[in-house]
Amino acid sequence: MALDLETRDQLIDMVARFVAERLRPIEAKVAEDDAVPADVIEEMKSLGLFGLSIPEEFGGLGLNMEEECLVGLELGRASPAFRSVFGTNVGIGSQGLVMFGTDAQKAKWLPGIASGEIITSFALTEPEAGSDSAAVRTLAIRDGDDYVLNGSKRYITNAGKASLFTVMARTNPDSKGGSGVSAFLVPSGLPGLSVGKPEKKMGQQGAHIHDVTFDNVRVPAWNRLGEEGEGFKVAMQVLDRGRLHIAAVCVGVAERLIKDCVAYASERKQFGQAISGFQLIQAMLADSKTEALAARALVMETARKRDAGQNVTLEAAASKLFASEMVGRVADRAVQIFGGAGYVADYGIERLYRDVRIFRIYEGTSQIQQVIIARETLKQGG
């Protein structure tokens, strides 16, 4: 159920204040240390950020998609690494359980996920199964009351801190494609499960991705999410939702960059005047503003459609495609408007330029979004 408008505004205000007062001032340090301080993570927990999308009956805030996107917009105004701390709990790490879990599975894990006591990860990608996610090779072979998992996963966000993984693995070894894949809820403490060291990345320092290896990991059959063979559809529906959330964050980052550009261009003087007075600077601002407004409208409209129960596979892919490409262009123009100051570290613009690059890749590359949009458009007849 949607929040009343007053409560919703209070929530957005609270997140906006937290972003402005607690997160923005420490962005550079978090990037330098490659770590979000523990006290900030505790504050995120007490604000309920780990449970934004978890139903209220399990201790979360139970936001609908429109509300979650509004919060995502605010979170986008600080370094995206902060959002990543609880991003898997809100999105891909929890939503398989929320959408497909049994009552008993939900009761066991969702309260801990909502409070942030349990960190979750989504383990789909493998060395040989990236964009072609139906090609997963990790095996889950039934043995009595258990499944035995063997294989490895790659670039798994928050794996180093996760205590619960949603793992997509092939239960029918003779199958090809998505139909033989099932989803499992796998606690991190099980013997044979190991997590690699964090990868060194281009941006979003403070957020971590790891390899995860399964070496004869015994998972009770009780932990299977949905029916055997449903895992690929679980993953696709989780991603439909996740892509919309990411798109909202992209819009937030773009809006923040535009504000930073306006502030800088109004101060910076060349040829005897503030550079904001020059039409070639104004043209860049105008393009960025127009694209950010268009992305915001698309994202919010898609979120409302999803809340109304419509299938938004096409629109979520379009939102992710447009918003992630848009924020790349906005960040590029921001470097240009800042000039030399955009290229050096002190102003933080080059950091955001690097941070936003991954939005065009994770939760499905721009090219995969194009494939999905084209397929759906053809299916729908235009």
Active site residues: 363
Q: Tell me which residues in 130-169 interact with ligand COS (CB under 6 A).
A: 131-134
By CB under 6 A, name the one of 201, 233, 268, 354 that touches ligand COS.
233
Minimum distance of ligand COS from residue 212's CB (angstroms): 13
Closer to ligand COS by Cβ: residue 71 or 209: 209
Nearer to ligand COS, 240 or 350 (CB): 240
Among 116, 178, 342, 348, binds ligand COS (CB under 6 A): 178
Q: How far is CA 321 from CA 99, 274, 298, 328, in A?
A: 24, 35, 11, 11
Task: Find the binder of ligand COS among 206, 331, 363, 373 (CB under 6 A).
Answer: 363
Task: Give the nearer residue to ligand COS in terms of CB position, either 232 or 338.
Answer: 232
Contact stretch for ligand COS (CB under 6 A) within 11-19, 128-136, 257-265, 288-296: 128-136
In angstroms, rounded to a whole number, what is the distance separating the alpha carbons of residues 294 and 206?
A: 30
371: contact with ligand COS by CB under 6 A = yes
**Minimum separation from the CB atom of position 313 to ligand COS (A):** 4
Contact region with ligand COS (CB under 6 A), list: 129-137, 146-154, 255-263, 327-335: 129-137
CB of 350 to ligand COS, least distance (A): 25
Question: Of 50, 232, 264, 347, which one interacts with ligand COS (CB under 6 A)?
Answer: 232
User: Which candidate, 38, 207, 58, places its Cα nearest to that of 121?
Assistant: 207
Measured at the CA of 184, the angle between CA 75 and CA 232, to 5 degrees, comes to 75
Q: Which is nearer to ligand COS, 88 or 276 (CB)?
A: 88
Structure tokens at 368: 């995969």
CB of 229 to ligand COS, least distance (A): 9
Structure-token pair, residue 157:
């966000």
DSSP string, 280-319: HHHHHHHHHHHHHHHHHHHHHHHHHHHHTT---HHHHHHH
Q: What are the structure tokens assigned to 221, written together?
A: 């059959």
Residue 43, both tokens? 């504050």
80 near ligand COS (CB under 6 A): no
CA torsion 153-157-163-164 (nearest 10°) is -60
Place of tokens 């928050």: 158
Indicate the helix (H) or strand (E) that contains 150. Answer: strand 146-157
For ligand COS, give the closer residue by CB, 40 or 371: 371
Rounded to 10°, the helix 231-267/80-90 angle is 160
Closest to ligand COS by CB, 36 or 92: 92
How many residues bind ligand COS (CB under 6 A)? The answer is: 24
Among 30, 136, 217, 239, binds ligand COS (CB under 6 A): 239
Q: Is 364 in the site for ligand COS (CB under 6 A)?
A: yes
Token couple for 377: 């458009």
Name the E strands within 158-307: 164-170, 181-187, 193-195, 209-220, 224-225, 269-270, 273-274
Exposed e or buried b per residue across 59-84, where buried means at least 16 C-beta atoms within 10 angstroms of its C-beta: bbbbbbbbbbbbbbbbbbbbbbbbbb
* Of residues 11 and 124, the one with the C-beta less far from ligand COS: 124
Cβ atoms of 147 and 224 closer than 8 Å: yes
Stretch that binds ligand COS, among 26-34, 103-111, 125-133, 142-150 (CB under 6 A): 125-133
Of residues 356, 361, 27, the one with CA closest to residue 203: 356
What is the closest distance, in whole angstroms, from the C-beta atom of residue 362 to ligand COS in the complex?
Answer: 5
Binding-residue pattern over the window 319 to 358 for ligand COS, x denoting contact by CB under 6 A: ----------------------------------------
**Footprint of ligand COS (CB under 6 A):** 92, 122, 124-125, 131-134, 177-179, 232-233, 236-237, 239-240, 313, 362-364, 368, 371-372
